[in-house]
Amino acid sequence: MRNFSEIAKIGMFVLACCAVGHSATLPPIGTSYCALTADPASYVGKRVQVRAVYRYSFEVQDLDAPECCPGKRIKIWVEIEPSDAKSKRLFRKFPKAMGLVLATFSGTFETGGPFGNGGRYRLAVDQIEKLEAVGDPAKTSELSWANHDCKISDIEPHLDQPPSLLHETDHVLNPPKQQ
């Protein structure tokens, strides 16, 4: 009977190890960049799939919105370690040293930093699902998918930014037209 108990414990341990190793192959939760940044706590520790702009250069590896998002921006550091042939092939198409990439990434969303540039969040990318565009950071203004002129009035107020401050900032940036 004692042997059966030990075998059962070993079996449970092996299953637990397999489950941990298998977690990288679990299907990711599809989300938008705006949803990810609006409620990052709900994605921590989970595999996510997100379409975003990846900006990288010396000491910069950040995700950015492919469109204007309401709300406060957060820094998301990116580390890419492609795990399959398709992702490695797409990763080789990224510009060398610095660039902008619009792609769909899958990976584990983490917190606890600071990561890279001091941000609290990191996306550990293991798969690149789709590569839509690549660009030169020096020509951001020419790239419609990377150049967002999101106005302050598009931003929703947060607890740490009272609506009156938001309103006053909007007036400074967008003064009323004189008649």
Closest CA to 122 of 43, 35, 7, 22: 43
CATH, residue 43: 2.40.50
Domain ranges, residue 82? 28-172
Convert the pLDDT of each residue in 143-166 to its tens digit.
887 766 665 433 344 333 333 334
Residue 2 falls inside a structural domain? no
Which two three-digit tokens encode residue 31? 């989300």
CA 151/CA 165 separation, integer angstroms = 15
Convert the pLDDT of each residue in 12-54 to its tens digit.
555 444 444 444 567 899 999 999 999 999 999 999 999 999 9
Closest CA to 31 of 106, 87, 120: 106
Residue 8 falls inside a structural domain? no
Whether pLDDT at 60 is above 50: yes
* Helix (H/G/I), strand (E/B), else coil: 25: helix
CA 31/CA 46 separation, integer angstroms = 12
CA 22/CA 12 separation, integer angstroms = 15
Share of the chain above pLDDT 70, in %: 68
Residue 67 falls inside a structural domain? yes
Count up the domains in the chain and report the number: 1
Is residue 11 a contact partner of residue 17, using CB atoms and an 8 Å limit? no
Residue 162 falls inside a structural domain? yes
pTM above 0.75, yes or no: no
Residue 179 falls inside a structural domain? no
